[in-house]
Every structure is written in C-alpha cells, then in structure tokens.
Amino acid sequence: MFKIIVLISGSGSNLEAIMQACEARAIDGNVVGVISNNADAFGLERAKKFNIPSKVINHNDYDSRESFDAALVSSINRFEPNLIVLAGFMRILSPVMTSAFQGMMINIHPSLLPKYPGLNTHGQVIANKDTQHGVTVHSVSEELDAGPIVAQARISVNVDQKLDDLIERIHKAEHLLFPKVIGMIASGEINLKKTGLDQEVIYKNYEI
C-alpha cells in the first residue's frame, strides 16, 4: 500500500480533497496519518471524519526549528510513508526535515512559481494586474518555495477580479491539482526520487 502522511496547520481543505480521492480510488494509496503543529486546526476534525490517525506537535514546545523538525521526522518515520504532503503547513522547514525526506515530500503553493514565493500571492496578482494566476505543486527543498516544479494549474484573472473570489477559485484549482499529482506519484507516473532535486524537473501544466 502506498502510504501518505499529510502535514497541516489550518482548515485542511486540501487534506479533505486528498482523503476523498483516496476513498474514491483516484489515488491508489491511503492517508495513514495527519500531523499538525496547531491543536486548533480544523483539519484535525476532517481527519477524524475519515478515521485517520492524527497527532499534534506544537512548535511552541520546542526551543529551535531544528528540534521541532527532529520531532516531526521521528513521528513521520513511525508510519514508514512513501510520500509526505505539506497541505497548508505553515512552517519553514530546516535541513533536518528536508534532508530526511529528500525526494519524498511535496508542497502546494498558491502562485505560478517561481513568481510570488511566500505569502500574499493573491494580493500581488491583483495589484500587478496579472492576467494569469495559479497553483504549483513542487518538491520541497531547503529554500522556501524553490524546489523543482512538479505540476501547475493556471486560471485566467478577470479584469475586475475581487480578492475573495480569486482565493475561492484558487482553492478549487488546488483541490483538483493536488490529488491528481499525488495519484500520479502513487501510480509511478511521476517519480520524485528519480528526478531528484538537482536534475531536470517534471513539468505538467493544466488549464482550469
């Protein structure tokens, strides 16, 4: 069985999309555990609804980023996962995590990377009058939002696009793209380890 661990910090809407895809067998694998750094994350309730084991590791209980990451690594390794998915996990990872799971960890970011790494991507799109926006699934590296791109989904931005509407459209794109990519990794169509972090990226582009 292809085993997936999902790390969350908040609502967990992408987590739910992934769990639904597993249940529908669109992903040939299962989410075997959910870990959050936030005890109040609503995603923990979503995990409970699907009877997925969950664990809270509060970063405030650790005196350094590295010690928190070491606790994450230890907890994740107990599941012996094939893939670690960052789904709204609002922590910058240290080399303790990135080296432990090189070629096994993906993140989804709400922009067409390398454009707009970091926060406030939607506001930047509107402020700069961009005609396209989107989401990127990428391998996780030590540098924030800079790992090799695995796939992107693009949407057209309306001239009078409101911020809340744009965010909602991007969420829909995330919920379509993330399970699709995870399914392709589980089936072997995408091999993150074969690609590696310093080799040619796998690139798939979707219009949504």
For the chain, list the domains and their CATH numbers: 1-101 (3.40.50.170), 109-136+143-208 (3.40.50.170)
Distance CA 132, CA 139 (A): 22
Angle at 75 between CA 74 and CA 78, to 5 degrees: 90
Check: CB of residue 177 under 8 Å from CB of residue 206. yes
Encode pLDDT of 62-113 as tens digits.
999 999 999 999 999 999 999 999 999 999 999 999 999 999 999 999 999 9
* Cα atoms found within 13 Å of the Cα of residue 182, Cβ hemisphere only: 36
Distance CA 194, CA 179 (A): 20
Known catalytic membership, residue 138: no
The catalytic position among 109, 122, 133, 138 is 109
Distances (CA, A) of 53 to 47, 56, 61, 165, 171: 7, 11, 21, 33, 25
Encode pLDDT of 13-52 as tens digits.
999 999 999 999 999 999 999 999 999 999 999 999 999 9
pTM of the model: 0.91
